[in-house]
Amino acid sequence: MYEPLVTLAYLAARTERVRLGTSVLVLPIRDPFLLAKQVATLDRLSGGRFTLGAGVGWEREEFAAVGAEFTERGARADEALALLRHLFEGEGPFRGRFHSYERGVFEPRPAERVRLMVGGGSDAALRRAAEWADEWQGADPDPEVFRAARNRLRELTRRPVRAGVRMAWTGGEAEFAAAVERFRELAASGADSVGVWFGDAEGFGERMARFAAALR
């Protein structure tokens, strides 16, 4: 798997209109200061086309491999989102539990307000999205589960946070019709967007084109 931000910088140079983003970056295992600089640079170079999708992660071994504390991942993600917004849009010092500074210069800032997307299906993820995000992305492609989570998000905030969901179809012929129907069901359940992962790079475009044609 390629490193996502490096890959997106390459794609930013090769494209002009398509929106770019991560779905999703494991936020607690990244240095938020470095990430802020990477995101601001990528947003500038892409002309404001970047959405930072972030989640807390779930794999203990992944955290252990980089020396990050798994049990603190929620608190670290919350603070990282607050720090990112402060660096992108705020002024003055930042004082947090894990990261603080009194003076500093953060330039260039993003071309526009960087869109933040929080991924995850837990109530904590929904609360995190309600507080910080422009978008929320559910990970469970069951329409009823998604609808309930979307309604919970509406209870948590009056801000216009978009509610999306992610699903997959990787080319299995036996699953094709069911995947197309699932997409339609998710759209009908109130999803503002339905993202589809089409599997390995080889044949990705062909699978995507076939899936899109079936939805017309």
Provide the residue ranges of all domains of the chain, joining segments of one domain with +: 1-119
E strand segments, 124-212: 135-138, 162-168, 193-197
pLDDT digits (tens, 9 = 90+) for 74-84: 999 999 999 99
Please give the DSSP secondary-structure letter assigned to residue 72. Answer: G
Residue 137 sits at φ, ψ, to 5 deg, of -125, 115
User: What is the pLDDT, as a whole number, of residue 139?
Assistant: 83
Distance CA 121, CA 26 (A): 15
**Is residue 141's pLDDT more than 90?**
no
pLDDT digits (tens, 9 = 90+) for 117-135: 999 999 999 999 999 999 9
Mean pLDDT, residues 172-196 taken together: 96
Q: CATH for 1-119, among 3.30.56.10, 3.40.960.10, 3.20.20.30, 3.90.1150.10?
A: 3.20.20.30
**Is residue 140's pLDDT more than 90?**
no
Q: Helices 204-215 and 176-188, interaxial angle, to 10°?
A: 60
3-state secondary structure at position 189: coil
Does this model's pTM top 0.85? My answer is: yes
Residue 214's pLDDT band, with cuts at 50, 70 and 90, is very high
Instruction: Yes or no: say if 61 and 42 are a contact pair by the CB < 8 Å rule.
Output: no
The residue to which tokens 């995947």 are assigned: 179
